[in-house]
Amino acid sequence: MTICIRFVVALLLVLINLESKAQCTATTVPYYEGFSALTNNNQLPNCWAASNPSVTCLTFTNMGAVAAFSFSPGGTSHFFTGPLQLHAGVNYSLTFFYKVSTGAPGNWTNLSASLGPNQGTLGLVSIASTSGILTNTNYIALTATFSVPNTQVYYGAISATGQPTANAQFLYWDDFEITMPCSINPVNINATSSHSVLCAGDCATLSATGANTYYWSNGAIGQTVVICPSPSLIKPNMPGLAQSTSSFLVVYEVVGSNTLTNCTATTSVYIPVNPKPQVQAIANPTVICFGQVSYLQAFGASSYTWSGGQIGNVFLVTPTHNTVYVVIGENSFGCKDTAYVTLNVDACVGLSSNGELKRVMVFPNPFSTFLKFEFEVETCWSARLITIDGKALAEFEGSGLSLQINTESLSKGVYYLRICKNQEMGYYKLIKN
């Protein structure tokens, strides 16, 4: 009668386990089983199986929640975990604790932990095992590290061989655990910058590799981030770094995380930042008459290149129309800045500066073979005849009341005559027939 009752109980437990297996889904690592959730002796954890349940594969709830192998009727027995999702490329750590029952130990061997494709012995691969006869009556750990060749579902197996030839009736085991320690799953993060050196105000792209997610010290999230260094990130050259001639260093940290193992690592990117020149440009004078010269000057840098290709900080120009000049200044660090200056051109035709210069007669206009101009007041003067594109054709100086010049060699067209007297100057537009 007692045997029948035990058989019925075992059968019910098997049926309960079979029903739970139909609902099993793969469990992710870390995984731990300490049997504390069991409510009845010989009950298996959800989705587990055993080769000889309730006979040689036992669980106890009245002895601190443990699993055990029984030596009778002898042979090798197996516990099988539920499905475990494992990933290629990850290093795993397996640990569980075991001891033999008191008595005369000597009948337990081949305690082993294995992985297989199902809850069966076919295809099992051992990942940890003992050697020789087990004699310890206090718990000791069996540990191992392992990896799997493919990302798929695996089943763990704990097995042992017992012989009913001594008094150590049980081999107890407990606290089965699979983890992914960061000590054996380092995150090898690397970070680089698109620019080894920056000029102040410029931007660079930082890139990180070696992890799945990335968190930057400026709050950005992602594998790449565009940075434009701000003063809050400026740090002086740091001990241990190659000292540069830059004004300051900016430091960006990135934390990389592996989403499978939850392991993280931190690295930094150091970028020297050089000052930019503050380039300015001026024209003197800023307004000229047609044919006049203006001096453009730039300052604030070490070298200068103008929009027309001219080199140097001073540039002499005689434009024929309003012109915007661009100058790029570069300092000793190779950093550049741009400045703009506008020069306005006034035809100044028929106008004079003031006073007596207005009392100058230029005739005939249009002219042909000669050109004459007269002053109402005798004084020293100079004159320049200029083409429409600013080229000087002839210059005259003298004193007196008049001057006549031969113009037979001049081509037909428009000319300008500039007359200077004392500190005054006037321009006249003339036409050659």
pLDDT, mean of each 10-residue run, the chain (433 residues): 43 46 82 95 96 96 91 93 97 97 83 97 96 92 97 98 84 97 96 93 95 95 90 44 58 95 96 91 85 86 92 87 94 93 76 47 82 75 74 78 83 79 70 81
Q: Given the structure tokens 């655990």, which residue do they identify?
A: 177
What integer pLDDT is reported at residue 232 of this predicted model?
45
Of 73, 159, 63, residue with least CA distance to 115: 159
pTM for the structure as a whole: 0.65
**pLDDT attached to residue 287:** 83
Residue pLDDT, tens place only, 72-119: 888 999 999 999 999 999 999 999 999 999 876 778 999 999 999 999
The C-alpha atoms of residue 111 and residue 158 are separated, in whole angstroms, by 7
Residues with Cβ < 8 Å from 207, sequence gap 6 or more? 191, 192, 193, 194, 223, 224
Query: Which domains are seen in the chain, by residue range?
Result: 2-179 (2.60.120.200), 190-274 (2.60.40), 280-346 (2.60.40.10), 355-432 (2.60.40.1930)
Residue with tokens 């044919």, as numbered in its chain: 291
Q: Please give the Cα distance from 71 to 378 (Å, whole number).
A: 140
What is the model's pLDDT at position 233?
Answer: 47
Handedness of CA 12, 13, 18, 21 (dihedral sign): positive
* N-term to C-term CA, the chain: 143
Instruction: Report the pLDDT value the prediction gives residue 371, as an integer from 0 to 100.
Output: 85
d(CA 59, CA 13): 12
pLDDT at res. 372 = 83
Q: Residue 273 corresponds to which tokens in the numbers above?
A: 């930042």
Residues 6 or more apart whose CB falls under 8 angstroms from that of 83 comprise: 24, 25, 26, 27, 47, 153, 154, 155
What pLDDT was estimated at residue 241?
36
Residue from 395, 414, 406 nearest 369 by CA = 406
374-383 confidence digits (pLDDT tens): 776 667 777 8
Distance CA 272, CA 309 (A): 31
Query: Radius of gyration (Cα) for the chain, nearest Å?
Result: 48
- Alpha-carbon span 267 to 426, nearest angstrom: 71
pLDDT value at residue 235: 47
pLDDT confidence of residue 390 = 63
What pLDDT does 364 receive? 84
**97, two tokens:** 């604790």
Handedness of CA 147, 149, 153, 158 (dihedral sign): negative
Calpha distance 412→294 (Å, rounded): 28
pLDDT for residue 373: 76
- pLDDT computed for residue 3 by the predictor: 41
- Predicted pLDDT of residue 15: 45
Amino acid at 415: Y
